[in-house]
Amino acid sequence: MSILGVTVLTSSTQQTLDEIGIEEQLDRHVLRLGSLGVAAGIDGLVASPFETRFLRSELGDKIKIVVPGVRPNWSEPGDQKRFMTPREAIEAGADYLVIGRPITAHKDPREAVEKILEELAQ
pLDDT in tens, 25-62: 999 999 999 999 999 999 999 998 889 998 999 998 88
Residues 113, 106, 112, CA angle at the centre, nearest 5°?
A: 15
- pTM, two decimals, is 0.84
Domain count, the chain: 1
CATH number (domain holding residue 25): 3.20.20.70
Q: What is the pLDDT of residue 86?
A: 93
> What torsion do the CA atoms of 7, 11, 17, 21 make, to the nearest 10 degrees?
-100
> Residues 101, 71: contact at Cβ < 8 Å?
no
Asked whether residue 23 carries a pLDDT value surpassing 70, the answer given is yes
Residue 62's domain spans which residues?
Answer: 4-121
Q: Residue 4: which pLDDT band, with cuts at 50, 70 and 90? A: very high
Q: Residue 13: which pLDDT band, with cuts at 50, 70 and 90? A: confident
Query: What span, in angstroms and rounded, lies between the C-alpha atoms of 89 and 50?
Result: 8
55-112 tens-digit pLDDT:
999 998 889 999 988 889 887 767 767 778 999 999 999 999 999 889 998 999 999 9
